[in-house]
Amino acid sequence: MSPIDAIDIRTSLPGPRAKALLEREQTWLSQNYVKDYPLVVERAVGTTLIDVDGNRFLDFAAGIAVCATGHCHPQVVAAIQSQAERLLHLCAIDFSYPHVIDLAERLAAVAPGPTRKKVYFANSGAEAVETAIKLARLRTGRQKVVGFFGAFHGRTMGAVSLTASKAVQRRGYAPFLPEVHHTHYATCYRCPVNRHPDTCSIDCLDLLEETLFSTIAPPDEIAAIVVEPILGEGGYHVPKREFLERLATIAGDHGILLVADEVQTGFGRTGRLFACEHFGIEPDIMVLAKGIASGMPISAVVAKEEIMQWRSGGHGSTFGGNPVSCAAAMATLDLLEGGLIDNAADMGTHLLAGLRELQSRHRVIGDVRGLGLMIAVDLVKDRETREPDHELLDRVLHRAFEKGLALLGCGTSCIRIAPPLVVTKAEADAAIAILDSVLSGT
């Protein structure tokens, strides 16, 4: 489908049907969010969203980086339909069925590193994070857990105790899980310790080693360090390779389990199956969700075999490893390994080049960063001070929507570029052109 076909705005936005539905939504649905713009989707295919009034939008959000193979990929839909005719549900903690075993074997085989792995299935990224916390505490006999400022791991109580992205995600819900501590991430564009990337010796980790370890979190009491290989909701920050290498060394030296949260970075989004592969690290535990099944609800925890050991009945999930979701995940992996990972790498390089060209002409763009199809365009009030411009981000998202491009934000003032992995060069160019037009009008 060409970008001209993908984008077709026929009504004022929102259109009459969308407006009526949004009014009903306010009456009946828990409104946890103020939405960036009034989009009510009826159906979707590939990279195209079609709203209830027939307007067509180019989707560069992918359901928050979930729809890896695009919307309703025929191969994924066929796998879902076939499985739905045979078995919809059979709790995997009580009974066995082929698909859950097949998917576990496949994920264990492709996980980073040479160590033999085992797999546990849950329903969401947050539930998988909860699982990783419990497993780390169980296997180490320790209580403390370390996360990072800027990180997002979910909103259930254990996961939100690790989350440190925005105050609103925590305000009003305390007390949180005890013995959770936070340290600096390598957000090099706005370095938390005022270093320059060219001369920095990963000084941001000094807070962990020189302060936390010696004051409130002795390393022999820390069960796990939980890290996103690329900071997601916190602004799509790609750390130096040395940051994760040193972090893995620190964890290993002290018997701390390294947990990689690959919920957003996994399944081809960065141009590798998992982001850890870019940095040469093998986590002890890896948390997976989002792109795993092209939109069907399933998550996974992949851990080294000696770590994935539970007391019988100590942990479980009624719907984890649902057979229909497993079928969708197997089809998704086929497509990713069949060319979509390579396309993510190629289209990511193309998008980065185009967006950096925009940066050269629009001074409100302070930084363009990312790997594969996980890219941030950081909007600033001033390039010298790098002060974020959240108000500008809101205007850009809304104006892009009016021109037929669906986007989301991340961090304080970043445009999140996370299209489905099926995106074409023509669609990438169309998105860049729309952003150019929007920024020219700011």
Domains of the chain: 3-72+339-440 (3.90.1150.10), 76-335 (3.40.640.10)
Single-letter amino acid, residue 104: A
Backbone angles phi, psi at 53, to 5 degrees: -105, 5
Task: Write the DSSP assignment of 302-346 as a string of letters.
Answer: EEETTT----TTSS--SSTT-HHHHHHHHHHHHHIIIIIHHHHHH
Output the pTM of the full model. 0.96
My answer on whether omega of the bond before 175 falls inside 30° of 0, hence cis, is yes
Tokens for 78, please give them. 């066929």
CA gap 183, 214 in Å, rounded? 13
pLDDT score, position 147: 98
Contact of 125 with 290, CB cutoff 8 Å: yes
pLDDT score, position 1: 42
CA gap 323, 320 in Å, rounded? 9
Q: Each residue's pLDDT tens digit in the chain (442 positions)?
A: 444 577 999 999 999 999 999 999 999 999 888 889 999 999 999 999 999 999 999 999 999 999 999 999 999 999 999 999 999 999 998 999 999 999 999 999 999 999 999 999 999 999 999 999 999 999 999 999 999 999 999 999 999 999 999 999 999 999 999 999 999 999 999 989 888 877 788 999 999 999 999 999 999 999 999 999 999 999 999 999 999 999 999 999 999 999 999 999 999 999 999 999 999 999 999 999 999 999 999 999 999 999 999 999 999 999 999 999 999 999 999 999 999 999 999 999 999 999 999 999 999 999 999 999 999 999 999 999 999 999 999 999 999 999 999 999 999 999 999 999 999 999 999 999 999 999 998 7
Contact of 185 with 150, CB cutoff 8 Å: yes
User: Between β-strands 144-148 and 222-227, what pairing exists: parallel, antiparallel or unpaired?
Assistant: parallel
